[in-house]
Amino acid sequence: MLVKSLFRFRHYLRPYAGTILQGVLFSIVVALATAAVAGLLKPMFNDVFFPHADPVVTAVPDVSAAAGQAGTNALLSRGQGTLDGLARRARDLVGYDRSRAYFLIPGLFVLAFLIKAVFTFLSSYRLGGVGLRVVRDLRADLYEHIQRQSLRFFADHPTGTLTARITSDVALLQGVLGTPLAESVRLLFSLIFLFVVALLLDWRLAAVCMVVLPATIYPAVRFSRKVKRSTWDSQSRMADVANRLQATIIGRRVVRSFNTEQFEIGRFQQVLQGLVRADLKALKYIALTPPVIEIIGALAMGSVAAFAGWRIAAGGLDPGDFVAALAALYWMYTILKRFARFGNDLTRGAIAAERVFAILDREREVVEAADAMIMPPFSREIRFRNAHFSYGGNPVLCGIDLTLKRGEKVALVGASGAGKTTLVNLMPRFYDVDTGTVEIDGVDIRRFTLASLRAQIGLVSQEVILFNDSLHANIAYGCPLASPAQVVAAARAAHAHEFIMALPEGYETVLQEGGQSLSAGQRQRVAIARALLKDAPVLILDEATSALDSQHESLVQAALDVLLRERTAIIIAHRLATVRAADRIVVLENGLIVEDGTHDQLLARGGVYTRLHRLPMDTATSRHP
């Protein structure tokens, strides 16, 4: 699962193949410089520190009688001889002798470290940059995927959960795909080249190390399963934290009005405590990894040192070769330790990847047909034909048949849960019907592109959404080409111009916290101005005046009267005046249309509408999907 999750990033890495190649080449240079430093330890030891010692030049007697082993010995001995021969040719080329070793060898050391430093920066910058761009692309794709989901998706995924996926989960991935990505590539090549150096200096010592050193990464492999489970739990609890935070911030008025600040603080602390417990469990195994590696590594290096001592005593190992080989092997050990620690980060990143891809793998419920066409201007009628819709296996709409003629105003009334809002949400395809069709001018709306369909439908709801932007931008939202004069004209028609001009910066006033500095009526008039500017021929009013007092309602109602002129409208309302003004009133009950007619006709029947009419309209027709 871990490899599968990370393998899916190949799609995101492909656009940066050229940059990745550069980073890999720079990493190879770093690895070569690291190997060169290890190789230079031999002349440093033999020619600088102990220039008068006699090196061992005799081959080590073959301790195996097997012919295959003898062949391997001969092959590797030839490799070591080749390395020595290349070293002698290089010395002859530069006129090297031991008298110059005091200056040349340290100079080469400095040069190797300088090259290593420069190319370490280059590889980190190139590969780390790729990681950051991949994270950016992933966040963008995740956001786009979320934006294109149906409303059902958001009912299944709380806001805090989605926020955690796009922030904390992706941040965990950034911890893997950023600088650690570049470091792991450098370490991998360094490990390879250091092993080659150790193999050429003394293949027997290298072989022993290859037997004992891999044991150092066992703890990381063993603990990774524990880290994986703990990380999943931790990230899930992080989503709980985000959900709790979002709920209490949005509901801050309710919290204060019921004097439950301390209660909410206690609940938030409980959620935080659960998060800490999960994090501590993961931390325990992450913290255990280094000391266990140190213990196993100490045993491994002790075994290597004992074997090397035996080799030197037997006269089969030059002291300079021993120092260089041991240094190379020690650096390999430190690299393996770092890989083991990186493994924990990799595990946590893989968990984050699983959670992110779980969102990306969610199929879009509302999709355009491959041959979708641009919707022509609305001209005749909107028709629901035997429309059925259910949620979570529970039927919400059951065989709806309803026709709206062009220019007609139809009011929907019904008790809470009757399906009014769900019905209007089918028109702009916020949901798709389970069975049946919704047609505009005789064409199934699923044949139209979403953009062209929604361009001809305006929406004003009780829940006014204003963005942290200027009032001008909020009114012109979705109409970026609108001129300032058009924005002002829409605001005037919506009876919003006067209060906007009374603000210190007028139309350039930047709203904060969704326009909480404005009254409910002012926010509603801004929403109406937005709908007027859009100038869609079909309009949905979803209890647009339900939260207003009588003073604000009169202003908003006047704005709505302007908005409704010469438009086809479907209205969910709880105000009697709004309902009576409709051309028709459609009554829903338990997902069915039970009555249809004018106000007077329905009252004369003495049915459901009459019963609702006798109740306080606020209670009878409260908003509900």
Cβ proximity of 304 and 239 under 8 Å? no
What are φ and ψ of residue 102, in 5° steps?
A: -65, -25
SS3 state of residue 438: strand
Compute the Cα dihedral for 30, 35, 38, 41 and give only its sign: negative
What are φ and ψ of residue 402, in 5° steps?
A: -150, 135
Q: Give the Cβ contact number of residue 225 at 10 Å.
A: 12
Helix (H) or strand (E) holding 443: strand 443-444
- Whether the pLDDT of residue 45 is over 80: the answer is no
Least confident range of 52-66, 98-112, 164-178, 261-275: 52-66
Mean pLDDT of 118-144: 90
Predicted confidence band of residue 127 (pLDDT cuts 50, 70, 90): confident
pLDDT value of position 379: 92
**Residue type at 110?**
V
Q: Which CATH number fits domain 1-52+71-202+317-361: 1.20.1560.10, 2.70.70.10, 3.40.50.2020, 3.60.21.70?
A: 1.20.1560.10
Compute the distance between CA of residue 362 and CA of residue 149 in angstroms, rounded to an integer: 9
- Give me the architecture of the 381-466+534-614 domain, per CATH: 3-Layer(aba) Sandwich (3.40)
- Whether the pLDDT of residue 150 is over 90: the answer is no
The predicted-structure confidence for 589-604, as pLDDT tens digits, reads as follows: 999 999 999 999 999 9
The predicted-structure confidence for 308-327, as pLDDT tens digits, reads as follows: 778 777 766 677 777 777 78
SS3 state of residue 596: strand
Between residues 340 and 62, the one the model is more confident about: 340
Q: Give the Cβ contact number of residue 395 at 10 Å.
A: 15
Mean pLDDT of 143-165: 86
Per CATH, 1-52+71-202+317-361 and 381-466+534-614 having the same topology is answered no
Instruction: Report the predicted TM-score, pTM, of the whole model to 2 decimal places.
Output: 0.75
- Whether the pLDDT of residue 427 is over 90: the answer is yes
Predicted confidence band of residue 614 (pLDDT cuts 50, 70, 90): confident
pLDDT value of position 625: 39
Q: What percent of the chain has pLDDT over 90?
A: 27
Compute the distance between CA of residue 85 and CA of residue 78 in angstroms, rounded to an integer: 10
Mean pLDDT of 50-71: 45
Helices of type H across 314-419: 319-360
Q: Two tokens at 382?
A: 């909107």
Buried/exposed 417-441: b ≥16 CB within 10 Å, e otherwise: bbbbbbbbbbbbbbbebeebbbbbe
Find, among 151, 172, 171, 279, the residue nearest to 227 by Cα.
279
Predicted confidence band of residue 48 (pLDDT cuts 50, 70, 90): low
pLDDT value of position 57: 43
Task: Report the C-alpha dihedral over residues 52, 54, 57, 62, rounded to 10 degrees.
Answer: -140
List CB contacts of 107: < 8 A, sequence separation 6 or more: none
Predicted confidence band of residue 383 (pLDDT cuts 50, 70, 90): very high
Q: So where are the chain's domains?
A: 1-52+71-202+317-361, 381-466+534-614
Mean pLDDT of 8-25: 88
- Whether the pLDDT of residue 274 is over 50: the answer is yes
- Whether the pLDDT of residue 111 is over 80: the answer is yes
Predicted confidence band of residue 624 (pLDDT cuts 50, 70, 90): very low
- Whether the pLDDT of residue 64 is over 70: the answer is no
